[in-house]
Structure formats: C-alpha cells, structure tokens
Amino acid sequence: MASTTSPIRIGVIGYGNLGRGVEAAIALNPDMQLAGIYTRRPPAQLKPGNADTPVYAMDSLLSHKGQLDVLILCGGSKDDLPSQTPELAAHFNLIDSFDTHARIPEHFAKVDQAAQGGQTTALISAGWDPGMFSINRLMGEALLPDGATYTFWGKGLSQGHSDAIRRVPGVAGGVQYTIPVEAAVEKVRSGVRPELSTREKHRRQCFVVLQDGADADAVRQTIVEMPHYFDEYDTAVHFISAEELARDHGAMPHGGFVIRSGNTSAQSKQVIEYRLQLDSNPEFTSSVLVAYARAVHRMAQAGQYGCKTVLDVAPSLLSPKSAAQLRAELL
Amino acid sequence: MASTTSPIRIGVIGYGNLGRGVEAAIALNPDMQLAGIYTRRPPAQLKPGNADTPVYAMDSLLSHKGQLDVLILCGGSKDDLPSQTPELAAHFNLIDSFDTHARIPEHFAKVDQAAQGGQTTALISAGWDPGMFSINRLMGEALLPDGATYTFWGKGLSQGHSDAIRRVPGVAGGVQYTIPVEAAVEKVRSGVRPELSTREKHRRQCFVVLQDGADADAVRQTIVEMPHYFDEYDTAVHFISAEELARDHGAMPHGGFVIRSGNTSAQSKQVIEYRLQLDSNPEFTSSVLVAYARAVHRMAQAGQYGCKTVLDVAPSLLSPKSAAQLRAELL
C-alpha cells in the first residue's frame, strides 16, 4: 500500500489559517504534493508560503479533475462546508474539518449521498475535536465499558467566545481563553469518577480592549453574565491596551484532555488519558487533515467509496510507511 | 455492523492472570458470551470466577469449531504463543497478546500463512505495549512528521526484572518497579525534544526479601550491577520482610506515556501525550483483548482474512455501538 511511487496530488480549497497550515504540513510529507490552491479571491492577490505553489480560481477546479487525488477543504463549518463538501464530493475524493458537532449526522448524510453517487471517498470532521478526541472517546469506552469519559479543553483560545466578547458594546477588541480547572483534572485522573458541573470543569479568561470612553464595569458585567457563553463559568476579565492585545495574544494555542476512567474489577481502577498541547490550533488541525488525506487516497484506491470519518480509518492508513515496516518499527 | 443480534461466542485458551481478566471483561460486554475456557490442566481442577462458565480440556477445542466465533489466547509469549497461535489460526478466528517486540515480524509471517490457509482472521500482539502504545507511536509520527517520539513505562511492576532479582543468590523473594524520571517527562512535555540516556528516562526500585543469613550488601551489589537489567539505571534496593512483600506488593500496577513532540512550523511546537495509569496490568491487557476480539469477529464476517495487528483496525470496529450512533454521540 505504501509502495505507491508517484506523490499524492493534493488540491487545497481556501487559503486562510487552515489552508496555510495545510501548505506547511504537505511540505513535511514527501509522499504528497501540493498541486494547487483554489480560491474565490482573484488568484493573483493570494501569496502562498511557497511562491512556486500554483494558485487557481475556484472556477477552474472541475477542469483539473484528473490531476488531483484528494481535495483538502479549508473553509468554515458555518458558511462554506455545509454546501461545498457535498457539492465537491460528487466529483473528488476529499476531506473536511466540519466541526459543528450537532450537525455531523446531517452533514454525513448529504456527503455520503454525493460520494456514493460520484464513487468518491469523502472524509468529514477531521481535526482534533471532532477528530483525535473522538477516537479517544470511542476507544476509552470500548476498552473500559464500566467507566466515565471526561473531555477538558484548553488552555486555549476559543474563537466563538472571542467573537462573543467583540460583539459587546464598548469593546474594541479581545480574546478569550478556556482553561481547564486543574483540581477537576486531578480528581478525574485519580480514578474516582467525579460528577462535575460546567463551572467545576473550566474557567474563562478574557483580555479586552475598551473603546474610548467605554464603561469598564458595564463591559465586565455584560461579559460575565452573557447566557450560554459565560454565565455558567467563573470568568475573569482583564482590560489591556490594543498594543498588548496585538503583542501578547496573536497566537492560537489550544489543546485539552480526554480522560477515560474505569474499573476492570472492583479493586482495579484504570485511567487512560489523551492530551494535546498545541501552540497553534489551526496548524495542528491542518496536520491532521494532511495525514487523513493520505488515508482517503488509499481508501479510494481500494474502492472504499462514500462518506467516512476518522472512526472508520485504520491507523496504518495514516502512515507513509509500509505495513511490514510499521510492525517492525512501531508495534 | 453492530446490528448483530446473537452474542459473539468467545473461547478462552488458558486461565492464568490474563484468562481471568478476559473472563471479567466479557462480563462487562453484553454483546459477548464466554462460551468456554479451554485448559491443559484437568478441567475439574479449574475454578472459574463464574461457576457457570464451562471448562473444557484443550483436546476438545477442535470439536467445538462451529460453536466459537473468536478464540482469545491467554498464554505466554515465550512458551505458548509462538506455536499455539499459528496452529489454532488454521482453524479459528483468534487474538493473542504476543509481546516479544523483536519477534513480531516472524510471528506475523507464521500466523498469516496459517490464517490465509484457513480463511480465518488472526490478530496478534494486542494489549498496551505492543498495542495502544503502538497506535499512538504511529499516529504521533503521522500527525507530526517533524518530531520525536518518547515512550516511558511505569510506575509499574516489571515481571522480567522481578524474575531477575529472584534468581540472585541469597534472595528469597522480591519485586521490581520501573519508574519514569519525572524531570525527563516534564522536559519532553515542554516540547524541547531532549536526547535522553537510558539512565535519564527511568529508574528502578527493588523490594527484596533476603534468605536467612544472606549478605544484604552482596545482594544489593549483584542487583545494581546486573548487566542489561540494572547496570544502566539508578537502582534503589529496599530490604523488606516476607510479610511486607505479600501485603504491599501483590498487585500488578503498570502504565506509562507515549509522547510525540513536534513542530508544524518554526514557531509552533505541538505535543501529543497518551498516558495509561493501570491498577492491574493483566486486567487492562485482557480488556484490550476483548475489545479487539469484537473487531476480529467483524473483520472475519467481512471476509478480511489473514494476520492483522491493532494498526489495521479502524476504531469503529471496537465499539458495540452502530456507526451512526458513534457519529452522533462521540464524534
């Protein structure tokens, strides 16, 4: 399976944080080749990290059908992927990072219909959550049926909560970090299977730049009482300058833990923990997309058409190494 | 796939720590049924945890061929599995926990030949190392190609090192714990990718009961200087009474970490950590065997014959839940 000699030709759809991360990740995988970036912007306006990477208008995508093995869709889950993934799955093998958990079954159904019709392989919802965390939730349950699963996120920048802060009247800019409560993590690790409230699991930390003349107390109050986003958490609001925001909060760190705590007998507690500590959330998601694009290519070559998720992918399909090499080196 | 209504009928081969653990794990999985324990001892001498579990002589195994979906082999990697797994793979779907890393390719070749001939599915080397740790080594490499992988073991009881202690003249009994050096783990977690010597990664702790009249200093010297086992480590030797050994060191805890530290760009470090903290090493290994026995059954039903390893198994095959349920609940 790993004896394929010509590189896997990847088309990147969209060139924001995720697209740039995919470009960087492909450069680290010698069995893959970035065949082109496809954009809705005028192609000449787009400056890829590698000046030699071809940039094309989205309109030309269909005419390149025979030259692309897998598309990596780098658009957003709200506006781009719900229509784009099924549309393109009718013609191409592809992968996306659709991450609206509640809508995955609906997205799956649409993509599956398109991929079955087009005889393509389309993997949705790759990344780390959904993605690597999902795999670990599944395996935790399967290995320790008598147990409880805990997911903690952070410390990390939450895009949705940062957006919510920025919509508050009087706010000129800001970011929000989700932080797991260390005492809760330790309790879960101890194997006692605690019941934890929302407030006990995570706290929220906001760095906010005020507009000229805004009332700091009113802004703080509006943030900490915001329903769904902040009211169920302990939230700290720090006011900083626009310069500090730009200097100290430009990165997009994230991560978290999936912990499965269970018993195999009355006296034996067993704890499985999977942890990510990411300096760059989009770059890691991109790396996951690229590794799973390799699996998509192989599944398509094997005639395994339709919509797939990370839960359907055998680990060996992710590695450029041969099965024999994997058994000898990594098993 | 999960719509199978009749339980998966499991035959357990051998009834030591692992066999007992498998019996307990099957009881936690309602879609599985322990059809029988097969032993080389006189069956009447064996007292299963559940008195209703049928116990048979090994001789009768072949005559039960149509009544068993998957065999779980619970023998040892040194004396039992090298011959038993290929012999039985000619007739049955099965799984073993063969854990002599260096001999896995050779074991695989023999089992594959038997399984291809018998049109069976035979999964070897399931457990946690090889097993869950192998999966995480593979995925770490695939997701972060520019990186380094670190495996730490412990704190845990090492059977091989405990046996080595017990062979020292003057020793009446003893156990050895392998302990990861916390400073090394922290350094790896920080993402700096340190080069670590054997001594820097793990230390060894021995609890030893002396024979009457034995020379404690001589025993300590022999242990700490023992080639391969102890000479490259910082080893602490504690002398205890036979009562203390029995009271405080009867459990078989183990675990460890697989950490992949890598960069997705010059400025972005990413760290993936998988950790096991096990009160009972054999019971956890048994739980892994039982979950992968479910996958073996499904792969056999799908006509995927031959020898497999955990690296070849899609996560969804491990769960009793349907694919749609997994997507809705866990993705």
Q: Among partner residues A28, A144, A284, which is closest to B146 by beta-carbon distance? A: A28
What confidence tier does A1 reach under pLDDT thresholds 50, 70, 90?
A: very low
Q: Is B17 on the interface with A (CB under 8 A)?
A: no
d(CA B317, CA B27): 19
Judge contact between A103 and A114, C-beta under 8 A: no
The rounded distance, in Å, linking the Cα atoms of A276 and B189 is 10
Cα-based torsion angle of the residue sequence B286, B287, B288, B293 in order, rounded to the nearest 10 degrees: 90
Using the structure block, give the residue that is written with the tokens 């959550």.
A129
**What pLDDT is recorded for position A244?**
97
Contact A264 B284 (CB under 8 A): yes
C-alpha dihedral, A258 to A263 to A264 to A268, nearest 10°:
110
- Residues near A97 by Cβ (< 8 Å), separated by ≥ 6? A18, A73, A74, A77, A81, A125, A126, A127, A131, A285, A288, A289
Contact criterion met (CB < 8 Å) for B331 and A29: no
**Token reading at B7:** 């339980």
Is B264's CB within 8 Å of A277's CB? no
pLDDT at position B163 over 80: yes
Tracing tokens 């781009």 back to the chain, one arrives at A80
Q: What are phi and psi of B33, to 5 degrees?
A: -140, 130
Cα angle A305, A25, A13; round to 5 = 55
Best CA proximity match to B291, nearest among B317, B320, B323, B318:
B318
- The 10s digit of each residue's pLDDT in B68-119 is 999 999 999 989 999 999 999 999 999 999 999 999 999 999 999 999 999 9
Q: Does B270 contact A280 at a Cβ distance shorter than 8 Å?
A: yes
Residue B159 pLDDT level (bands cut at 50, 70, 90): confident
Q: How far is CA B89 from CA B107, B114, B145, in A?
A: 12, 6, 36
Q: Is B143 on the interface with A (CB under 8 A)?
A: yes
Name beta bridge partners: A202: A180
Q: Is A314 on the interface with B (CB under 8 A)?
A: yes
Do B316 and A311 lie within an 8 Å CB cutoff? yes
CA distances in angstroms from A183 to A80, A151, A202, A260, A316, listed in the order given: 39, 14, 10, 17, 37
User: What pLDDT, on the 0 to 100 scale, is given for residue A5?
Assistant: 72
Say if the Cβ atoms of A141 and B189 lie within 8 Å. no
- Does A2 have pLDDT greater than 70? no
**d(C-alpha B186, C-alpha A108), whole Å:** 40
pLDDT in tens, A127-150: 999 999 999 999 999 999 999 999
Question: Which chain B residues are closer than 8 Å to A326 by Cβ?
Answer: 138, 311
Question: pLDDT digits over B289-323, tens only?
Answer: 999 999 999 999 999 999 999 999 999 999 999 99
Residues 90-109 on B with a CB inside 8 Å of A are 101, 104-105, 108
Which residue in chain A has the smallest CA separation from B144?
Answer: A287
The 10 Å CB-count burial string (b at 16+, else e) for A131-170 is: bbbbbbbbbbbbbbbbbbbbbbbbbbbbbebbebbeebee
Residue B203: how many CB atoms within 10 A of its CB?
18
Residue of A25, A101, A331 lying closest to B309 (CB–CB): A331
> Do B276 and A270 lie within an 8 Å CB cutoff?
yes
Query: pLDDT tier at B5 (50, 70, 90 boundaries)?
Result: confident
Residue A3 has pLDDT above 60, yes or no: no
Instruction: Supply φ then ψ for residue A113, to 5 degrees.
Output: -60, -45
Any chain B CB within 8 A of the CB of A187? no
